[in-house]
Amino acid sequence: MTKSARQFWQGKIVLVTGGSAGFGWFIASAFAKRGAKVFVNGRDETRLNEAVDRIVEEGGDATALPGDVTNANDVTSMFATMIDNAGQLDVLINNAGRSDRGAAMETSVEQFRELLELNFLSLVRCTQTALPNLLKTGGHIVNIGSLGAKTVSPFLGAYPTSKFPVTAYSHQLRLELAPQGIHTLLVCPGPIAVPKASDRYEKLAAEKQLPASAGQPGGGVRLKGIDPVWLADRIVRACEQRTPELIVPRRARWLFAVSTL
């Protein structure tokens, strides 16, 4: 890490939703290592406090921000607490979300609604709440999408449907907010090799009698797991450079172009 990179983030305030575990923790850690003060959001307060303690042990400045991003009152309270504590917001990382498994015709309307609420509408809710403060700092909105926000694999239940709107929303934000000084970054990664990943989707696939590939990361897509430390660093640099979109692996961008044609 260069001295200039750490100077860039010194005194900056970053909020990461869904940061108590998985890839969200790696993003929070990456910003903290560069000198930013990081607010880490999560629903499970015990796991959230453990995640914050790990960042502090690494020498970072992190604060737990408990709350459910699908609950409007929680979101209002979260942002009020953060502003009372830090006085500003420079980066909002909309990371909270989860995947799914199931055949499209066997996924209920309620299941679609639930995942749309978590993967998309909570992102909108947090962005709208954060915007007045981001306008003051000329800050960054980072939306963690997925390759599933660009293309579809079978047997992923409501997941692709809940992620495709993230791409459209990010593009609309970019067009409308860039003239006001706001940077919007859409991140679309393939499967991330997060240590101790849950076997939840493998169990779901077995329970629903889906092909074994459906239980694998990314629904069995043939891609090497992405190093979460490396990807988190890429996101930090993309913010520094105000990059509009980050698709990993890069070759997936060309596959999307061919698919469209």
Range 203-228 burial, b when 16+ CB lie within 10 A, else e: ebbeebebeeebbebbbbbebeebeb
Verify whether residue 159 is a known catalytic residue: yes
Catalytic residue among 26, 31, 120, 159: 159
Which residues make Cβ contacts (< 8 Å) with residue 123, sequence separation at least 6?
A: 94, 96, 97, 143, 166, 169
Neighbours of 159 (CB within 10 A): 26
Structure tokens at 159: 């997941």
Residue type, 152: V
Distance CA 41, CA 220 (A): 30
Structure tokens at 74: 């929680």
Q: Is the dihedral of CA 189, 190, 195, 197 positive or negative?
A: positive
Q: Which residues are catalytic?
A: 159
